[in-house]
Structure formats: C-alpha cells, structure tokens
Chains A and B, each alone.
Chain A
Amino acid sequence: EAGVAQSPRYKIIEKRQSVAFWCNPISGHATLYWYQQILGQGPKLLIQFQNNGVVDDSQLPKDRFSAERLKGVDSTLKIQPAKLEDSAVYLCASSLGGIYEQFFGPGTRLTVL
C-alpha cells in the first residue's frame, strides 16, 4: 500500500514570496491533516479536512495561509506572502477517519530567507 506522498521535499524562498505544497493521501482515507513543525518543537495542526470539507482550521493563519482539498483526495497548502517565521517542516497526514491512526508523509522543508 502506497504511503502519503508530498512534494516538493525542499523549498527555499525569499520572504514575501508565495509557495505551495502538495499532498496525496493514502487511498481511501477520508481525513487529511496539515501540520507545521518548527525546529525543536512537536508538530502543530494547521488544518483538518474530512473529505473535502474543513473540520478544524483554528490554528491556520488565515491572513497568509490557505488550503484546499479538491474532490476529497489531493490537497494543496499555500503561503502568500511568506514570512521568516514560516520556516518549518510541513507535514501531511491522513487517516480513515477522525480518531483512527494517522499516517504521515515525508514532509516539505521550507526555508524562508
């Protein structure tokens, strides 16, 4: 069974530029999560989708971050414009449902200069 796929693996941008990350969850998984992991910290949930609807986006900085999940499968996370403090690893995870085990992708390491 294929795991959660993410791209790109690494991205370096200048502050105020835009960036987008892509995630393809495990087939059949209804729930998709985006987490932000700052160096030395545990991951923090940014947004949770159930199929293509948003369940929780309470910690998403909506003035600069946006996310969508088209047709309840793939998802994109966008930052526009990026700030220095957005430098982090962005992890995508999926699960069969809300309280089932979550499976994580390899992450995208973003560096904002």
Chain B
Amino acid sequence: KQEVTQIPAALSVPEGENLVLNCSFTDSAIYNLQWFRQDPGKGLTSLLLIQSSQREQTSGRLNASLDKSSGRSTLYIAASQPGDSATYLCAVTFTGGGNKLTFGTGTQLKVEL
C-alpha cells in the first residue's frame, strides 16, 4: 500500500531556530513530491515541488530534499519566524497511482517569540 508518513505530528521551537520536518513514503516509484502549508481554516498553499529526477528545491528560507531510494524527504526552514506557524503537509504522486496526491497527516509547527 502506498502511504506517506510525517514525523513529528507537532513541533514547537523558539524564534530564530533552524528546523527540519520529515516525510517518508513507502514506494520509491514516484513522479514528484510536494510540500504544502495549511493555515487554520484555510486551504493549502504549495511551497515546493520536487520532481523525481531532482534532489532538492529551494525557495527563500525553505529547502526541500528528496531521497527516493530511502523513501524520504525533508523540509528545512532556516531562521524560523512566528509567521511560519502552520501545519506542513507532504504529498506524493506515486506512479501507477492515477496521478493523485497521497498526503501525510502533517506536522503542526508553532514558532514562539
């Protein structure tokens, strides 16, 4: 069964700290992996999309890496800010899965002053 897992479920850090969110998936046959941000009561905002042929993608203070062979991705957030507080979701498009996104359950991040 193709599944996506995110650990930890919740994380609280002081402002300014660098942090890493983890995502693992059970099948290395993927098209791409996407990281989303979800604010309370809002929809999903796409942060980074990594194609299966890529190792990492960067946008501002965010860096996402992909290791297909081990079935893992990490989202690195540098110099965290209170505005980064949100739930971060990892989603994978598995090949042979009909092109749908399979989501993890998310990591709820709180950055404290």
Interface residues of A (CB under 8 A from B): 4, 6, 31, 33, 35, 40-45, 48, 55-56, 58, 91, 93, 98-99, 101-107, 109
Of B13-21, B69-77, B78-86, B100-108, the segment with at least 4 beta carbons within 8 Å of chain A is B100-108
Number of B residues near A (Cβ < 8 Å) is 23
Determine if B24 is an interface residue (Cβ-Cβ < 8 Å). no
Q: Once the chains are docked, how many angstroms separate the CA of A55 from the CA of B98?
A: 8
Collect the chain A residues with CB atoms within 8 Å of residue B100's CB.
33, 45, 48, 56
Q: Once the chains are docked, how many angstroms separate the CA of A106 from the CA of B41?
A: 8
For B4, B45, B100, B106, the residue with the greatest tally of chain A CB atoms inside 10 Å of its CB is: B100
Pair B103/A91 contact, Cβ less than 8 Å: no
How many CB-defined contacts (below 8 Å) exist between A and B? 58
Pair B91/A42 contact, Cβ less than 8 Å: yes
Nearest-neighbor residue (CB-CB) of A91 within chain B: B43
B108 → chain A closest CB, angstroms: 9
Pair A101/B49 contact, Cβ less than 8 Å: yes
Interface residues of B (CB under 8 A from A): 4, 31-32, 34, 36, 41-46, 49, 89, 91, 93, 98-101, 103-106
Pair B34/A55 contact, Cβ less than 8 Å: no
A3 → chain B closest CB, angstroms: 9
Q: Once the chains are docked, how many angstroms separate the CA of A40 from the CA of B43?
A: 14
Collect the chain B residues with CB atoms within 8 Å of residue A40's CB.
105
